[in-house]
């Protein structure tokens, strides 16, 4: 071959390489689209299944919920009157009338409605409009008390039975249950009452036989299922109710029910084909945002204080923290900087808790810095922000917690600070829970996602099918101009695995932080890789890469239990061997600002490089076909072949 051909050949090689890379991008986009379609298919199948399960007769389908909205039932007039007279409300909210009509028609009903949607009215109003009493199962005494307080104020006769009830009170309630003259409309009990009190069950039996048990409402019905975020063993025993009292209509209510949880609940409660009403989980007035947690705690506090004192000046909000210690520290720092803040966590005296709750409700305290203990029953309408100091332990939890914002339908913000260390703190905490880690990783996936609409991600989690166009730019992804770029991180992955193998040979266990140190050329020299220079990326990007490898199972967590703590170490994951193949690629999306740094690779040996810039995705969450391949003078030589396996975030 003539010498003069060399530049032409080099040119052609570059051309071919560029085209190959473009094909990779297309494959990747198609794979992504495939994933989306698979998910949509799954969600649609679930919906269809849910509908057909709920369909006893053709009228019993969700699609016919219009029929349940009618106002010409024999009870319609009374229901309307009591709505005004007893509850002082003018109109029904979404799905309330349907649910009330269905239960008045003695159907078994499941109502899935976001927190704050107004589920309680759906059994309280029918209780007032029916003969006899309604039995309400409620998981927490505090929740019962909140509802009883409201009912008492409205003058609706209701009471509760729990472990703290006096003998006289118990006797009185038992008497009322069978007394035909009784005006008692609602009896709230904890599930343990059903599970453990034979006496109470025998009274229920008598009341049922006397036609006094109007219906049974099971609030927070997801507590039945281990798949829910709030499993309570006593809920498992509630199947006895439908078996013993088959003719008393049952109503299950929850804010969080994936199809799996619902199916579980049907089985556990022995309800055959409940009519299911599902309200959308979309909260159009909430703005969702995920931020990177600043690494210095003083920067972090400053960030939060700025938000509270500037953007939310004088407005009410919640800061959720991982631990009581975090709560106390954050509250102290906020107070020190002039913010009216108080703490709320499980270890406080009930008196102090209710003091904080009241001050906050009355707007005498701007912010409650709380653990998840500040939860069910919090119903302040004008919460303008919910800040997560750490991510939640599951998407269900996050939805619930962030959902306390904006109950008045005015705009409110949900800001989540995502931090690398938090993954492992929470992981060590949930390790003993059945599906704890799986749920946490779903949460982490949500935080890692730079490209999809937050609403689409949330909707997917709850088996809803959603289109990012409906977001109305009410999330960071949809409203952001920032684009991101697909980056090949395979060599980084290989370096990480090399470090892990080296550590294993040395019988050293690596915590995530130690791994990060060794990779960035810090810490014990024996753990570092002498032949691979540390990557020249900012730390958050290194964390992002490790997190990605974890979610994709190239690496995994391995827990060590001591008397004092559970420690998470990093080991090779089940997919580590795949990365041994030279053509296996892992692609991760990075923000532009960071990919600029990736452009100058860490070393000549590093193959990590951005793919051609045309594969930037705008982050709209929509699928876009990549433009046709172009020649790029910057394109680097790629060893990948078209059949290389590509793994994307």
Least CB distance from residue 41 to Zn ion, whole Å? 22
For the beta sheet containing 367-370, the strands, ordered from the edge strand earlier in sequence to the opposite edge, are 286-292, 412-418, 383-388, 316-320, 367-370, 341-344
Segment near Zn ion (CB under 5 A); pick from 6-14, 227-235, 445-453, 609-617: 445-453
Provide the token pair at 308: 């509270």
The entry of Zn ion, ligand ADP, Mg ion, none near residue 619 (CB within 5 to 8 angstroms by kind) is none
414 part of the interface to Zn ion, by CB under 5 A: no
- Identity of the residue, 151 or 416, whose beta carbon is nearer to Mg ion in the bound complex: 151
- Identity of the residue, 138 or 532, whose beta carbon is nearer to Mg ion in the bound complex: 138
Least CB distance from residue 72 to ligand ADP, whole Å? 20
Least CB distance from residue 116 to Mg ion, whole Å? 8
How many residues does this entry show for the chain?
Answer: 649
Contact 143, 237 (CB under 8 A): no
Give DSSP secondary structure letters for 430-471: HTTSTTHHHHHHHHHHHHH-SSS-HHHHHHHHTT----GGGG
475 part of the interface to Zn ion, by CB under 5 A: yes
Least CB distance from residue 384 to Zn ion, whole Å? 20
Report how far residue 559's alpha carbon sits from residue 649's, in angstroms, rounded to the nearest whole number: 25
Please enumerate in sequence order all residues whose Cβ is within 8 A of that of 435, keeping only pairs 6 or more positions apart, or say none.
226, 227
Q: How far lies 87's CA from each of 136, 153, 408, in Å?
A: 18, 10, 18
Report how far residue 65's alpha carbon sits from residue 509's, in angstroms, rounded to the nearest whole number: 58
The entry of ligand ADP, Zn ion, Mg ion, none near residue 453 (CB within 5 to 8 angstroms by kind) is Zn ion
Segment near Zn ion (CB under 5 A); pick from 126-134, 186-194, 449-457, 627-635: 449-457
Provide the token pair at 567: 């420690």
Phi-psi region of 132 (alpha: psi -120 to 50; beta: other; left: phi over 0): left
- Identity of the residue, 327 or 456, whose beta carbon is nearer to Zn ion in the bound complex: 456
The entry of ligand ADP, Mg ion, Zn ion, none near residue 99 (CB within 5 to 8 angstroms by kind) is none
Least CB distance from residue 436 to ligand ADP, whole Å? 25
Least CB distance from residue 489 to ligand ADP, whole Å? 42
- Identity of the residue, 119 or 388, whose beta carbon is nearer to Mg ion in the bound complex: 119
Contact 118, 169 (CB under 8 A): no
- Identity of the residue, 467 or 583, whose beta carbon is nearer to Zn ion in the bound complex: 467
Q: Per-residue contact track with Zn ion, 361 to 400, x per CB under 5 A? A: ----------------------------------------
Least CB distance from residue 222 to Mg ion, whole Å? 12
- Identity of the residue, 158 or 497, whose beta carbon is nearer to Mg ion in the bound complex: 158
370-380: string of b/e by CB count within 10 Å (b at 16+)? bbbebbbebeb
Least CB distance from residue 128 to ligand ADP, whole Å? 14
CA 426 to chain centre: 14
- Identity of the residue, 471 or 647, whose beta carbon is nearer to Zn ion in the bound complex: 471
Helices (H), 338-416: 350-361, 395-402
What crossing angle do the helices spanning 436-448 and 454-461 adopt, rounded to 10°?
Answer: 160
Least CB distance from residue 282 to ligand ADP, whole Å? 15
Least CB distance from residue 127 to ligand ADP, whole Å? 13
- Farthest-apart Cα atoms in the chain, separation: 109
Segment near Zn ion (CB under 5 A); pick from 127-135, 393-401, 472-480, 488-496: 472-480
**Binds Zn ion by CB under 5 A, chosen from 478, 496, 527, 602:** 478
471 part of the interface to Zn ion, by CB under 5 A: yes
Phi-psi region of 235 (alpha: psi -120 to 50; beta: other; left: phi over 0): alpha
458 part of the interface to Zn ion, by CB under 5 A: no
**Binds Zn ion by CB under 5 A, chosen from 217, 453, 590, 635:** 453
The entry of Mg ion, ligand ADP, Zn ion, none near residue 121 (CB within 5 to 8 angstroms by kind) is ligand ADP
Segment near Zn ion (CB under 5 A); pick from 230-238, 384-392, 397-405, 465-473: 465-473
The entry of Mg ion, ligand ADP, Zn ion, none near residue 471 (CB within 5 to 8 angstroms by kind) is Zn ion
Please enumerate in sequence order all residues whose Cβ is within 8 A of that of 465, keeping only pairs 6 or more positions apart, or say none.
40, 43, 44, 47, 459
Considering only residues 108 to 167 of the shown chain, the ones binding Mg ion according to CB under 5 A are 119
Least CB distance from residue 318 to Zn ion, whole Å? 22
Please enumerate in sequence order all residues whose Cβ is within 8 A of that of 462, keeping only pairs 6 or more positions apart, or say none.
256, 258, 281, 399
Contact 624, 456 (CB under 8 A): no
Segment near Zn ion (CB under 5 A); pick from 124-132, 136-144, 340-348, 473-481: 473-481
Q: Per-residue contact track with Mg ion, 100 to 119, x per CB under 5 A? A: -------------------x
Report how far residue 98's alpha carbon sits from residue 354's, in angstroms, rounded to the nearest whole number: 35
- Please list the helix, strand and coil fractions of the chain in percent, rounded to the nearest 5, in that order: 45, 15, 40
Report how far residue 186's alpha carbon sits from residue 525's, in angstroms, rounded to the nearest whole number: 69
Provide the token pair at 444: 């982490």
- Identity of the residue, 377 or 540, whose beta carbon is nearer to Mg ion in the bound complex: 377
Residues making contact with ligand ADP (CB under 6 A): 89, 92-93, 96, 113, 115-121, 379
- Identity of the residue, 135 or 221, whose beta carbon is nearer to ligand ADP in the bound complex: 221
- Identity of the residue, 140 or 415, whose beta carbon is nearer to Mg ion in the bound complex: 140
Number of residues near Zn ion (by CB under 5 A) = 5
Nearest to 543 by CA among 450, 420, 371, 365: 420
- Identity of the residue, 203 or 215, whose beta carbon is nearer to ligand ADP in the bound complex: 215
- SS3 for 236-269 is HHHHHHHHHCCCCCEEEEECCCCHHHHHHHHHHH
The entry of Mg ion, ligand ADP, Zn ion, none near residue 648 (CB within 5 to 8 angstroms by kind) is none
The entry of Zn ion, ligand ADP, Mg ion, none near residue 475 (CB within 5 to 8 angstroms by kind) is Zn ion
- Identity of the residue, 32 or 146, whose beta carbon is nearer to ligand ADP in the bound complex: 146
Least CB distance from residue 87 to ligand ADP, whole Å? 8
Q: Residue 319, SS3? A: strand
- Identity of the residue, 119 or 353, whose beta carbon is nearer to Mg ion in the bound complex: 119
Contact 190, 210 (CB under 8 A): no
- Identity of the residue, 75 or 559, whose beta carbon is nearer to ligand ADP in the bound complex: 75
Number of residues near Mg ion (by CB under 5 A) = 1
Q: Which residue ranges make up the site for Mg ion (CB under 5 A)?
A: 119
Question: What is the binding site for Zn ion (CB under 5 A)?
Answer: 453, 455, 471, 475, 478
């Amino acid at each position: 071959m003539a010498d003069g051909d060399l530049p032409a050949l080099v040119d052609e090689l570059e051309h071919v390489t560029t085209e190959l890379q473009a094909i990779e991008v297309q494959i990747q986009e198609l794979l992504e689209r495939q994933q989306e379609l698979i998910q949509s298919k799954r969600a649609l199948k679930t919906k269809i299944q849910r509908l057909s399960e709920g369909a006893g007769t053709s009228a019993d389908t969700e699609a016919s919920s219009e029929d349940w909205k009618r106002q010409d039932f024999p009870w319609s007039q009374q229901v309307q009157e009591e709505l005004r007279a007893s509850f002082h409300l003018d109109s029904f909210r979404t799905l309330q009338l349907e649910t009330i009509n269905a239960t008045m028609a003695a159907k078994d009903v499941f109502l899935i409605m976001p927190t704050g949607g107004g589920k309680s009215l759906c059994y309280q109003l029918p209780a007032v409009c029916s003969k006899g009493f309604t039995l309400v199962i409620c998981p927490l005494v505090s929740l019962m008390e909140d509802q009883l307080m409201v009912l008492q104020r409205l003058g609706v006769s209701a009471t509760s039975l729990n472990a703290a009830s006096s003998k006289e009170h118990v006797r009185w309630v038992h008497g009322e249950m069978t007394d035909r003259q009784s005006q008692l409309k609602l009896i709230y009990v904890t599930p343990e009452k059903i599970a453990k009190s034979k006496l109470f069950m025998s009274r229920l039996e008598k009341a049922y036989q006397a036609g006094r048990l109007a219906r049974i409402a099971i609030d927070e019905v997801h507590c039945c299922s281990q798949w829910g975020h709030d499993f309570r063993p006593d809920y498992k025993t509630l199947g006895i109710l439908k078996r013993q009292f088959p003719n008393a209509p049952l109503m299950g209510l929850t804010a969080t029910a994936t199809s799996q949880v619902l199916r579980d609940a049907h089985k556990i409660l022995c309800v055959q084909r409940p009519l299911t009403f599902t309200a959308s989980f979309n909260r159009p007035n909430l703005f969702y945002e995920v931020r990177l947690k600043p690494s210095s705690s003083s920067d972090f506090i400053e960030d939060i204080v700025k938000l509270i004192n500037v953007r939310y000046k004088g407005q009410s909000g919640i800061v959720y923290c991982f631990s009581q210690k975090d709560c106390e520290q954050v509250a102290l720092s906020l107070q020190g900087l002039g913010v009216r803040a108080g703490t709320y966590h499980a270890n406080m005296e009930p008196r102090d808790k209710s003091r904080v709750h009241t001050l906050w409700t009355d707007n005498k305290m701007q912010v409650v810095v709380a653990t998840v203990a500040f939860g069910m029953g919090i119903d302040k309408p004008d919460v303008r922000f919910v800040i997560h100091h750490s991510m939640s332990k599951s998407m269900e939890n996050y939805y619930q917690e962030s959902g306390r914002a904006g109950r008045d339908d005015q705009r409110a913000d949900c800001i989540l600070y995502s931090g690398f260390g938090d993954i492992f703190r929470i992981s060590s905490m949930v390790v003993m829970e059945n599906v704890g880690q799986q749920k946490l990783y779903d949460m982490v996936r949500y935080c890692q996602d730079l490209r999809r609409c937050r609403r689409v991600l949330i909707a997917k989690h709850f088996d809803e099918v959603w289109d990012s166009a409906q977001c109305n730019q009410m999330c960071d992804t949809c409203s952001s101009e920032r684009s991101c770029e697909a980056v090949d991180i395979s060599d980084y992955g290989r370096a990480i695995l090399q470090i892990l193998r080296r550590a294993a040979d040395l019988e050293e266990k690596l915590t995530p932080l130690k791994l990060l140190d060794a990779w960035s050329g810090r810490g014990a020299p024996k753990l570092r890789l002498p032949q691979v220079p540390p990557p020249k990326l900012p730390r958050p990007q290194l964390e992002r890469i490790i997190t990605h490898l974890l979610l994709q199972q190239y690496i995994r967590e391995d827990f060590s239990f001591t008397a004092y703590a559970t420690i998470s170490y990093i080991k090779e994951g089940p997919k580590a061997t795949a990365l041994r193949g030279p053509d296996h690629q892992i692609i991760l999306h990075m923000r532009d600002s960071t990919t600029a740094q990736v452009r100058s690779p860490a070393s000549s040996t590093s193959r990590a490089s951005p793919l051609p810039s045309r594969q930037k995705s705008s982050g709209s969450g929509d699928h876009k076909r990549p433009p046709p391949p172009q020649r790029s003078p910057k394109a680097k030589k790629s060893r990948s072949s078209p059949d290389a396996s590509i793994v994307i975030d």
